[in-house]
Amino acid sequence: MRTAEALIGEYLSHLRVEKGLAKNTTSAYKRDLYRFLEYLASEEIELENLSTDLMQEFVARLRGKGGASPLAESSISRAVVAIRNFYEFAAKEESFLNPIKEFPPPKIPKRLPKALAISEVEALIANAEREGDLISLRDVALVELLYATGGRVSELVTLSMSDISKLGDEETLTIRLIGKGGKERVVPVGKFAQHSVEQYLVRVRPSLLKERRNDSLFLNARGGVLSRQSAWSIVAAAAQRAGITHHVTPHSLRHSFATHLLDGGADIRVVQELLGHSSVTTTQIYTLVTIDRLRESYASAHPRAK
């Protein structure tokens, strides 16, 4: 029988090549599976000898049993799914029964996404620019596009110049985003974001290309591709300058994009398409946010609501 490590390598290759999972997803699965492999080695458990009781013990460790740093329930749930799916693959490859086929992942409490107020979004964009710092026009363009498209930060930092169309004419600017599993979608961009992108492309990007050639839209100060970590830092710094006290990330702008569209009367199927969700069920969580807002407005405004 092949070693557990060899099987994990084959499984991760299977996810990348045959299943087409995104790099970030396979990286997360790899961390989960190697953490599990360490557990098996520490307990001297062979791969095929796992049981539901031992799996429960592993989950308890992920929750902090034995002094380890506890993981979030969402991370534990993902780890259980990763291990269970890996076992399904390994059991077929090595012809043994999958001992955890029915092992359920922990249920994750439904949390409503936190959307920024429109005034907060405007303050965030305004504070992305720093007086006397020309490269901050890039930061404005990034923040504007995050909110204008609802794109994930990983989708925005991997944009290339060829993903932009109709720039500079009177028609609506469109951006081609490549989401999870390589799924493509085209998202229209409003005039504010279009203006910010044009300013960045004309006034900043050419100077960043002096050292090296790069087709990526967003470049760092050395002419390389702007990293996800740098994009997070740009948003966090702008939020701090704007005086926004709660935690703000690039994903906050994605949540705000969806919530504000639905608040404005957009059809949920349109929002689903713009976000790149494969199922409308995923998008429906944003309708709960808007219903909560309706309840709050009703309770505060209607004379006989209380």
Catalytic positions: 152, 180, 251, 254, 277, 286
The three-class DSSP label of residue 103 is: coil
**Continuous H helices in 95-227:** 118-126, 136-149, 153-157, 191-203, 205-208
Q: In whole angstroms, what is the distance from residue 272 CA to residue 85 CA?
A: 27
Q: In whole angstroms, what is the distance from residue 30 CA to residue 134 CA?
A: 40
Q: In whole angstroms, what is the distance from residue 240 CA to residue 205 CA?
A: 25
Q: Which two tokens stand for residue 1?
A: 């029988």
Q: Which two tokens stand for residue 28?
A: 């997360």
Q: In Å, what is the CA distance from 173 to each residue of 50, 68, 188, 256, 260?
A: 54, 49, 6, 20, 20
How many CB atoms sit inside 10 A of residue 44's CB?
A: 7
Q: In Å, what is the CA distance from 97 to each residue of 50, 92, 185?
A: 10, 8, 41
